[in-house]
Amino acid sequence: MLRTHTCGELRIGDVNKQVTLTGWVQRLRDKGSLLWIDLRDRYGITQLFLEEGKTDALLLQTARQLGREFVVKVDGIAVERLSKNDKMPTGDIEIKISSLEIVNASKTPPFTIEDNTDGGDELRMKYRYLDLRRNPVRESLQLRHKMAQQTRIYLDSLDFIEVETPVLIKSTPEGARDFVVPSRMNPGEFYALPQSPQTFKQLLMVSGFDRYYQLVKCFRDEDLRADRQPEFTQIDCEMAFITQEDILSTFEGLIRHLFKNVKGIDMPTVPHLSYADAMKYYGSDKPDTRFEMKFVELNEVVKGKAFPVFDNAAIVLGICAKGCASFTRKQLDELTEFVRKPQIGATGLIYARCEANGKLKSSVDKFFDEEALSKWTLKFNAQPGDLILILAGPTEKTQKALGELRLHIANQLGLRDKNKFSALWVIDFPLLEWNEETKRFHAMHHPFTSPKLDDLQLLDSDPGKVRANAYDMVINGTEVGGGSIRIHDRPTQQLMFTKLGFSEEEAKKQFGFLMDAFEFGAPPHGGIAFGFDRLCSLFGGADSIRDFIAFPKNNSGRDLMIDTPSTISQEQLNELNIIVKN
């Protein structure tokens, strides 16, 4: 070894030890007679010092040539510090150095290697290997490592087998675009990179593997947002001979195991909420339940009072913001502006303050007298100091808009604390979703999801009403995982493809292998996949998944460091039979 200790290791008990350390120069402080060097590695920082007159002159001269991020190797003796630093684990000691070797010089880094760096996103990505030297980024990846390890420990303990599925496959429809790879040996033909190993894990159930998991890279060619990457990792799982309840309890167990073993948090049992109730009470299929502020429907107490906005609306819905009666006119105008934004889409906002005497003062007092308003108070259980906010309009649109307003207010009130965690299962998702653009139904989860038997009779008459055996795990308003109980027989799977607009021919061409497999004794099965990067960022209290991925891509899907995507040579193109249009 080139060192006797790491830079995070030495303590007061090591005083007088002869040591050799290696690492990067974090900082140099030259006080003339005394010179200090902070030496850093993954484990921490140790302070080195040299003293004019006491240290060899040549050694001092070498030390004075050091710059930030030089790699050095030093020999020396650990001594007790005169002024200790209780903020550093090694702060009781320092190393009086007797020899110093510059192992490798460094250019001045383009940004500071500190917890709060001066580097912008693009620069940090271009020099990702330097960014990874910074504590917060390295700690995020260490958290990821721990999450992966604990995931394996938990699933192994339940007899899950990790199986690697292929990366060069045929497209699986998960609702996004595929990345494709041309086949040189089969001109004009392409592989697709998996959007998930969905069909393979189902085939493993047919094979009798019974319990499968994989920490697996998936690829989706979508427009990117802060929490999306074209390649991402899933904890992908499948189980045979189970009910939906078995899946929910097994994977609630995984999440609780992770909270316990990675964060030391005892998670309460995870409540179940139907998709219909999630929409009804939160206007979202991924409600943030760190705080209440549930929707209250007002139709029965507001209709017929000659207020056209309410009378003409399919639904009148409100929330009660605790303690917000003191909001100023300006703040209320800002909220009105917020709900009127095109992406929110409400036409206006009605409000009522609950005053000290418990009575409501509303923006529509003209239409509602004291008695009428007292019914609102009851509905919301409003207390003095509360603010009631009401939207009216078409049901779905109003629910969604109020859902956004609920989150907006919660952000303003600091109710979305990153160190607080609230998980829930959203269950009973609709099987199908109408797509306005294509004018047909799409599978809400994916086409392998089984419908609820009770709803099967609606498949022809009212397909949008059919519920699926599908579930999502939501934590703090983020969907961290989702899955379903699968179809495991050919006729139902064929019926599903037909409903989704596939001709028998197309279904056979794309998924014949799966339907064939279903004819050889397929067990009932189901599964789930967790977005691993997102789960890690949630555990790390971050908004973006980027720092939980060692080498992420930017919002245009580029890796700025290796500079890709990039063109390939004409020779490669010829080999692949690809003609690039300019």
Site residues, ligand ASP (CB under 6 A): 174, 196, 198, 482-484, 527-529
Which CB atom, from 134 or from 445, has the smaller least distance to ligand ASP?
445
Which CB atom, from 246 or from 355, has the smaller least distance to ligand ASP?
246
* Cβ(8)–Cβ(34) below 8 Å: no
Nearest-5° Cα angle at 390, 388 to 391: 165
- In the complex, the smallest distance separating the C-beta of residue 441 from ligand ASP, rounded to whole angstroms, is 18
Give residue 555's Cα distance to chain centre. Answer: 16
Give residue 426's Cα distance to chain centre. Answer: 17
Per the rule left: phi > 0, alpha: psi between -120 and 50, beta: everything else, 42 is alpha
- In the complex, the smallest distance separating the C-beta of residue 204 from ligand ASP, rounded to whole angstroms, is 12
Which CB atom, from 219 or from 376, has the smaller least distance to ligand ASP?
219
- In the complex, the smallest distance separating the C-beta of residue 529 from ligand ASP, rounded to whole angstroms, is 4
- In the complex, the smallest distance separating the C-beta of residue 31 from ligand ASP, rounded to whole angstroms, is 58
- In the complex, the smallest distance separating the C-beta of residue 93 from ligand ASP, rounded to whole angstroms, is 51
- Scan for tokens 């409100």, then name that residue: 318
Phi and psi torsions of 563, nearest 5°: 55, 70
- Scan for tokens 């983020």, then name that residue: 478
- In the complex, the smallest distance separating the C-beta of residue 134 from ligand ASP, rounded to whole angstroms, is 32
- In the complex, the smallest distance separating the C-beta of residue 119 from ligand ASP, rounded to whole angstroms, is 34
Q: Which two tokens stand for residue 174?
A: 């998960």
Burial 518-551 (b: 16+ CB within 10 A, else e): beeebebbbbbbbbbbbbbbbbbebebbbbbbee
Which CB atom, from 231 or from 311, has the smaller least distance to ligand ASP?
231
Which CB atom, from 196 or from 493, has the smaller least distance to ligand ASP?
196
Angle between helices 395-412 and 275-282 (to 10 degrees): 60
Q: Is 571 helix (H, G, I), strand (E, B) or coil?
A: helix
- In the complex, the smallest distance separating the C-beta of residue 558 from ligand ASP, rounded to whole angstroms, is 24
Which CB atom, from 477 or from 527, has the smaller least distance to ligand ASP?
527
Residue 237 CA to residue 529 CA, distance in Å, equals 6
Sign of the torsion formed by the C-alpha atoms of 275, 280, 286 and 291: negative
Which CB atom, from 72 or from 247, has the smaller least distance to ligand ASP?
247
* Cβ(347)–Cβ(353) below 8 Å: no
Which CB atom, from 178 or from 404, has the smaller least distance to ligand ASP?
178
Which CB atom, from 451 or from 483, has the smaller least distance to ligand ASP?
483
Measure CA of the first residue to CA of the last residue in the chain; give whole Å. Answer: 55
For residue 565, say if its preceding peptide bond is cis, omega within 30 degrees of 0.
yes
- In the complex, the smallest distance separating the C-beta of residue 467 from ligand ASP, rounded to whole angstroms, is 16
Give residue 235's Cα distance to chain centre. Answer: 13
